[in-house]
Chain A
């Protein structure tokens, strides 16, 4: 008879590496998260302010080679910014859900789990990117790229401070609508190409949901454009001196809020990947880095949609400048901080909603979009046009 081993002989004794979660040090955790947020701020300053200012100061942008180098550097910086945003938001989401659910969330990697997502990303990188036999290979591989690129492209148009924007498009509002709709293609194609019935259903749902929520979203954006008299995002922000758009355009704001949660596929509207119904929906068969790209895109959008909400309705980078000259670099640094803080508040509200509500049903989702939000958005557009006329007369 084989001898039963004793715990002392057999167990790998648990050993703590680095941070000890049994003795929480709140000050260390606060410092760690402050540093994390500062890293985001520094990345924003670098990508949107410092590097363009550097190129402009030395006049390198006038040559073709200089412009190409600038574009390449900006692309890399934007990608890094997207990665940092996703890493921060994932850990913040998990910590926040942990807090409100009376547990601790990620704890073991870094103080209070700051580096958890870094290790998660490394793990996903190291996993096999597996494709089942019956998939439509090209589309299957293309879908995560489309999703991620569409989220990533939105970053270009985000004005974070006065004059700080990668591409100050004169059709900025239309650009947002166009590019964010592109993301829907990725999700639908990803669902349809994987030869899985759950993925198919998820793709159907995603297509229906994303396409129908684009309409009220676009109308809400349009009412902002009508009211401010420009499609350029920096003009929209400039127009809000004195009064943020959220006051006159409250209806459009509500429409934008609901529609952007639906665009995010976050909890009350997370039908495409409803994990209890459709296993995982459109990303059922994705693994490894392909899955990570879907995930990354979702969290970049979790930063960008509140970001655009702040730009359109909450005065963008506006805030007291304490005597700094608007347009200077120092003012830009301060303004980008204001912007980030406003975005952080909205991200928190989005997470809060995600922690509270159960999920809608697909037909109710459609009802809400077409019967609720669309008329509301039209009324909002009417209000915006009326106010604009009123202002013109004055």
Chain B
């Protein structure tokens, strides 16, 4: 995991990785190699300032849990697909595309899954007006002050420790 921009914390009983979108796929490849073989879930989240993709992983043998998330701006929600690592995330990525418009590059069959093909926008975005909630004049919040990514060496040490 050297050279990847991510932050690793422990929340409750799982490890949480915040990762730079460009290093999303390399980090997941490294995690797959570490033994996280079971895909629990993949969800999109509209954080109010941008979109977040959260992947929940589990190691069948080790019993360890990991959560990986990365933030994307509204105007370029593009991410590399990880369906070749975990084919079980195929429909979850389609769902995230359907409900949030996050485009996964390299997905074998990126179509809408729950909604019809001609649905206009992606309904789980906060700006999607359902009649009163959220408010019609909703504006995106400013992107939060980016916390510094950990130094690659530090991350390597953390992994070894």
Direct contact of A and B (CB under 8 A): no
